[in-house]
């Protein structure tokens, strides 16, 4: 299960990296017009959101299983500090997964809609693009932390 957790996390982190740092900048450089590249980039980010939510769910299930293995000591048995630390580490890792998933949802259902609205109404497009970029960076950092933690 540990290898599966590393594989799923690496796939998620690599997807965010490839999309955010290679694919979208290449789109804008190649297509020339932001009016043409923007909707394509938005669709790619939407797909990445849903992929991230699915991969995050798989990770949570794997981490839940790791957390539950040997969680409760038997009656009269002393609590092993090493086991307790391992459980706390898994819970912290689950927190990073949940934070990345929450950022993906906020980006998809909050910021992406504001970008579309701002583009149509002449609103503050720069602000909402910046917010979206911060959320993608936050996802990338959270998933990077998960990758670091599960690959030990």
Confidence of residue 87 (pLDDT cuts 50, 70, 90): confident
Query: Residue 69: its pLDDT value, please?
Result: 58
- H or E element that contains 55: helix 34-68
Of residues 142, 39, 13, 61, the one with CA closest to residue 31:
39
Radius of gyration of the chain (CA): 19
Read off the pLDDT of residues 65-85 as tens digits, 9 standing for 90 and up.
877 655 555 556 666 777 778
If you ran DSSP here, which 8-state letter would residue 32 be given? Answer: -
Give pLDDT, residue 74. 53
Q: What pLDDT, in 10s, does the model give residues 110-145?
A: 999 998 888 888 888 899 999 999 999 999 999 999
In this structure, what token pair is assigned to residue 68? 């539950």
Tracing tokens 């798989």 back to the chain, one arrives at 58
- Predicted TM-score (pTM) of the model is 0.88
Domain borders along the chain are 2-68+81-150
- Round to whole Å and give the CA distance between 141 and 13: 9
Question: 132 near 20, Cβ under 8 Å?
Answer: no
pLDDT digits (tens, 9 = 90+) for 90-103: 899 999 999 999 99
């Amino acid at each position: 299960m540990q290898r599966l957790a590393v594989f799923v996390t690496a796939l998620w982190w690599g997807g965010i990296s490839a999309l955010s740092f290679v694919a979208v900048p290449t789109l804008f450089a190649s297509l020339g017009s932001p009016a043409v590249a923007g909707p394509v980039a938005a669709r790619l980010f939407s797909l990445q959101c849903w992929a991230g939510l699915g991969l995050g769910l798989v990770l949570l299930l794997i981490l839940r299983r790791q957390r539950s293995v040997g969680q409760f000591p038997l009656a009269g048995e002393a609590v092993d500090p090493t086991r307790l630390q391992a459980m706390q580490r898994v819970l912290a890792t689950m927190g990073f997964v949940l934070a990345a998933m929450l950022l993906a949802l906020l980006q998809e259902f909050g910021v992406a809609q504001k970008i579309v609205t701002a583009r149509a109404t002449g609103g503050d497009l720069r602000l909402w693009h910046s917010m979206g970029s911060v959320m993608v960076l936050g996802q990338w950092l959270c998933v990077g932390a998960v990758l670091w933690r599960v690959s030990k």
